[in-house]
């Protein structure tokens, strides 16, 4: 089976800066196997701290507004987001700053990603 991931994890931040390898591993485990256990271990992780604070659960709600909005600690999740929803949610939260107004089109996403890489290249090489 081909491993699916998203480069957005490299740009994701929390209150301490870039995500630690342990947090990235928890999110990757969810992407690899979206099930109640992995979702329960990752839903509350902060994946964007730059503009607005966004947890993975909040990011999923932007992509799928019909997703479960509340859960108490005594019940199971009524649903688990799919791999595609999780990846789209992370990409939107990181590259689109979690905007609730719209989700980036594929072309806009590619342009924004290229812009980020260009900026990183210029900073790294002092151009």
> What's the CA gap between 48 and 27, in Å, rounded?
13
Is the pLDDT at 66 greater than 80? The verdict is yes
What dihedral angle (degrees, nearest 10) is formed by the CA atoms of 18, 44, 58, 64? 110
Provide the pLDDT confidence category of residue 121 given band limits of 50, 70 and 90: very low
Residue 76 DSSP one-character state: -
Q: Is 126 left (phi over 0), alpha (psi -120 to 50) or beta?
A: left
The structure's pTM equals 0.72
Closest CA to 63 of 113, 8, 18: 8
Summarised one tens digit per residue, pLDDT across range 86-107 is 999 999 888 886 554 444 555 5
């Amino acid at each position: 089976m081909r491993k699916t991931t998203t480069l957005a994890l490299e740009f994701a931040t929390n209150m301490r800066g870039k995500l630690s390898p342990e947090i990235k591993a928890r999110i990757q485990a969810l992407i690899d196997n979206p099930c109640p256990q992995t979702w329960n271990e990752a839903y509350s992780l902060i994946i964007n701290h730059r503009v607005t604070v966004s947890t993975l659960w909040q990011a999923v709600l932007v992509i799928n507004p019909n997703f479960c909005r509340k859960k108490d600690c005594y019940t199971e999740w009524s649903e688990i987001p799919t791999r595609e929803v999780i990846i789209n949610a992370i990409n939107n939260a990181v590259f689109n700053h979690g905007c609730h107004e719209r989700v980036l089109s594929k072309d806009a996403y590619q342009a924004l990603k290229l812009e980020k890489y260009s900026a990183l290249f210029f900073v790294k090489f002092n151009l």
